[in-house]
Structure 1
Amino acid sequence: MTHPFPETSTPDRERLVALARRSHAVIAGHQDPAGAYPASPTFSAYRGYAWLRDGSFTAEGMSRYGDVGSVDRFHDWVTRVLAARTGQVAGLVAAAEAGEDLPLDLMLPTRFTFDGSDGSDPWWDFQTDGYGMWLWAVVTHAQRHGLALDRWLSGIEVAVDYLAAFWDRPCYDWWEEHVEQRHVSTLGAIHGGLQAIAQAGVLDATRARRALDVAEQARQLVLAEGTTTGRAGDPAAPHLAKWLGSSAVDASLAACVVPFGLVDPASPIAAATLDAVARDLDVDGGVHRFRADVFYGGGQWLLLASLLGWNRAAAGDRPAALRHLVWAADHAVDDGEMPEQVPDHLLAPEHRDEWLDRWGTVATPLLWSHGMYLILADELGLLPEDDAR
């Protein structure tokens, strides 16, 4: 746990620390015995499934909290899931190298059942960001706690081979939309994961070189085609864009700065990207996904408030980071569970009822929200002391 900033006031500190303890309990209480972190244990569309994306950030929060056993079990689960698909990935890579056209339904899914199977119901499945996120998460966890990565090597090799072959293929984004685009946040996650694992010293020399090469190719592609000078007539510095060739802003772009380092956090383009996210999507500390969002009316997401706060904390701006943490804490429900989003400042209120009719109330708890809260609480020195965990 880090303590880079002075103390907050005692009442606020006690409340924020208590919610960190509750977040750990929610995640630990819902973790499947086999190791998967469910996206949400009660939400109709998520129930029974685990995403690599959600799980990787949830694992990072739990790793920071110090629950090494829980995180080990998650990485064990991912490794079993991926190792079981070694032959499938080898076949896909060989087919791609032979110039075959590979339909989306042959690619690895973005979510799995708790026993590691593919889902049986239709979903927007071809998404590569989670594989990069998992590589980053497993390396970060191992380094934090002095663990050997060999335990997870069979899964790591599958993820590296898969990303090295298909990193630049259009796919669905973080929000499972726009399969026709190459998304900057996806490329950022791939860059972060491949760079982390290549430098970790566990890969064979050929895979390590390939991982570093692809990570750099992803970065160069974004710098060449995934930036914008901003809105028309705006003289601001260029910032990252939602997808290659776009001028839109997406809150997930913050992850390209911290933690994935696609752009140097000290660079002008990083500062301009975070400022664009704040300018377009931050209202009172809560953060929207993107301006055109209609999902449940386009509310504000707790996990995105924590992501932007994480970036502000990493840049040394405690007041801004704390503002986002307090906002997230203020929007937990009475029992301390955190929803996916809240209907504050809806961007498209006319669409809210159609989603309520389709899938029911908003996912609560969303384990990703709790995981991101733990990350930001750690950045601010607001996790419980070791003897209280």
Structure 2
Amino acid sequence: MTDLSTPADLGELVALAEAGHRVIASHQAPSGAYPASPTFSAYRGYSWFRDGAFIAEGASRYGDADGPAAFHRWCADVLAKRTDQVDALVARALVGERIPVADMLPTRYTIDGGVGNDPWWDFQLDGYGTWLWALAAHADRHGAVDGVDGGVVAAVRYLTTFWARPCYDWWEEHVDHRHVSTLGAIRAGLAAATSHPALAGPLPAGDRSAAVEAVEEIDALVLRDGVAGGHLTKWLGAGDVDASLLACVVPFGLAGVDSELGRATVSAVEDALCVDGGVHRYAADTFYGGGQWPLLTAFLGWNHAVAGRRDEALAALRWIAAQATPSGELPEQVGHHLLAPDREQEWIDRWGTVATPLLWSHGMYLTLAAELGLVGSAR
């Protein structure tokens, strides 16, 4: 492909968006699930609520109503079938029982909605909040998705009970901490569930009240313990940043895009983790040598676009496009600027080369392209 790190015809950026939507649509399973990557050994056969929600958001913004709706129904069905499990977990929590991580809902499911046998760092809460947020966003664009009420109720009940519990972060790490990006996703999901007619309708009054209270408590907690140097931090009590914090500004709104906290957070992430246009996960990253992630560069560009910094947002889109393979597939990360080059080979030996395509990368590219008005819907 043309080197898109320099100004290029916008038609090539649009063409990559079209190719990316084909990648997403062609790999979506009949069940509605989006596989994280159809070929990568550790991801093949599994769908994450987090990844899938952002994939669905990109496809929805592109103009695809049916694919994302099928994904949202799949998520709802996965949760509705586990209503008894959620109710039992809530009951155990209410009597003060210490619930092992292994008993909690997993973060990823098999394509048919089951629980896989492969070991994983599986207790993550953010995906359920991200799904609720994405479901509401899709309903705003394409109308309410039917058949999701049971899943919404289960997700809200689960999150309102366990939102304050430490869990793994976006990167399946640091299970003993409360991560600000996780809290931001939960907050966004619960806020959507209590305010959007398509989600709030089926909620029992008690669950709705608990969700409103949780949103207020998350706001207070993050302002008290999740801010340092004027910006949001990687986890409560920390001082450094993580690129997942970008989502706490746009789209989750934990910190407003025009607020001092929001601007400082985006600036801190960009200063610490963006090198020559590409964004790293965090400074101590060693996964595949700690490369730069197209999807995180898209989050940075998304923030810039919403803040009115179009040229910088377009530069982010061009950087991402330059990472595509000749066939138009986007990887999980690239190795142009490795933070820990001596750690790259161990991951190749373990799982093979970097996941390509990663559907989340394509979903984020579509979202940024839409926000810039190149395809689909900016909102």
What TM-score does the superposition give when structure 2 sets the normalisation length?
0.95
* Partner of residue 41, structure 2: 44
1:157 to 148, 153, 160: 153
* Partner of residue 180, structure 1: 176
Whether 2:77 is the aligned partner of 1:77: answer no
**Structure 1: gaps (5+ residues):** 1-8, 230-237
Alpha-carbon contact 2:370-2:376 (below 8 Å) kept: no
* Partner of residue 131, structure 2: 134
Shift, 1:187, TM fit:
0.1
1:109 to 100, 106, 110: 106
* Partner of residue 325, structure 1: 317
More off after superposition, 29-38 vs 207-216: 207-216
**Structure 2: gaps (5+ residues):** 1-5
Question: In the TM superposition, what whole-angstrom CA distance separates every residue of 1:326-359 from its partner, at most 9, and x where no partner exists?
Answer: 0000001110000000001110001001111111
Partner-residue secondary structure (3-state), 1:151: coil
Taking every aligned residue pair, what percent have the same amino acid on both sides? 60
Shift, 1:146, TM fit:
2.5
Partner-residue secondary structure (3-state), 2:147: helix
CA distance in 1, matches of 2:116, 2:362: 24
Partner-residue secondary structure (3-state), 1:102: coil
* Partner of residue 277, structure 1: 269
1:131-280 correspondence runs (5 A): 131-147=128-144, 149=145, 151-201=147-197, 202=201, 203-229=203-229, 238-280=230-272
Shift, 1:151, TM fit:
2.8
CA distance in 2, matches of 1:153, 1:320: 40
Whether 2:352 is the aligned partner of 1:352: answer no
Question: In the TM superposition, what whole-angstrom CA distance separates every residue of 1:189-244 from its partner, at most 9, and x where no partner exists?
Answer: 00011001100132333222211111121111111001101xxxxxxxx1000000
Deviation >4 Å, runs of 4+: none
Q: Kindly report the root-mean-square deviation, in angstroms, between the aligned alpha carbons of the 2 structures.
A: 1.3
CA distance in 2, matches of 1:168, 1:11: 46
CA distance in 1, matches of 2:101, 2:174: 13
Shift, 1:11, TM fit:
5.0
Partner-residue secondary structure (3-state), 1:342: coil
1:297 to 280, 289, 306: 289
CA distance in 1, matches of 2:268, 2:301: 14
- Total equivalences in the alignment: 368
* Partner of residue 4, structure 1: none
* Partner of residue 3, structure 2: none
What TM-score does the superposition give when structure 1 sets the normalisation length?
0.93
CA distance in 1, matches of 2:257, 2:216: 17
Aligned residue type for 1:210: A
Cα–Cα, structure 1 residues 102 and 284, in superposed 2: closer, same or farther, change >3 Å? same
Alpha-carbon contact 1:61-1:375 (below 8 Å) kept: yes
* Partner of residue 235, structure 1: none
Aligned residue type for 2:213: D
1:115-130 correspondence runs (5 A): 115-130=112-127
* Partner of residue 3, structure 1: none
Partner-residue secondary structure (3-state), 1:171: coil
Alpha-carbon contact 2:63-2:376 (below 8 Å) kept: no
Shift, 1:121, TM fit:
1.2
CA distance in 1, matches of 2:312, 2:208: 38
Shift, 1:12, TM fit:
2.0
Aligned residue type for 1:176: E
